[in-house]
Amino acid sequence: MTRLINAARHNRLTLMKTGSYYLIHICVAAMVAYAVTGNLIASLTLSLLEPTVQAVAFFFHEKGWERALNKRRAQQQQADAEQDLNMAIAGA
């Protein structure tokens, strides 16, 4: 349970974004499904199923982008450090 709480704290912003995306997606999906089917029960079922899967996918999509950006920053910092070292050696 502690790992789950720590994961939630560490990913708070991503989870909040996922939650707001989920609510908007449910509303839009319900309206579209009702417009297509004319059936309230079918539209509510569809609007809960598809956005739930999308919300989980969105969370992992965000985590992938975060990891890629962190990797890019680390590579840039390493390149900057190497450049600084080379300039220091050249100036010596």
Tally of domains within the chain: 1
pLDDT on residue 92: 62
User: Can you give the residue range of the structural domain that contains 81?
Assistant: 2-91
* Tens digit of each residue's pLDDT (9 = 90 or more) over 27-86: 998 999 999 999 999 999 988 888 788 878 888 998 999 999 999 999 999 998 888 888
pTM, entire model: 0.52
Q: What angle do CA 73, 54, 17 make, to 5 degrees?
A: 50
Check pLDDT > 70 for residue 2: yes
Helix (H, G, I), strand (E, B) or coil at 17: helix
**Closest C-alpha among 63, 47, 51 to residue 14:** 63
Check pLDDT > 90 for residue 15: no
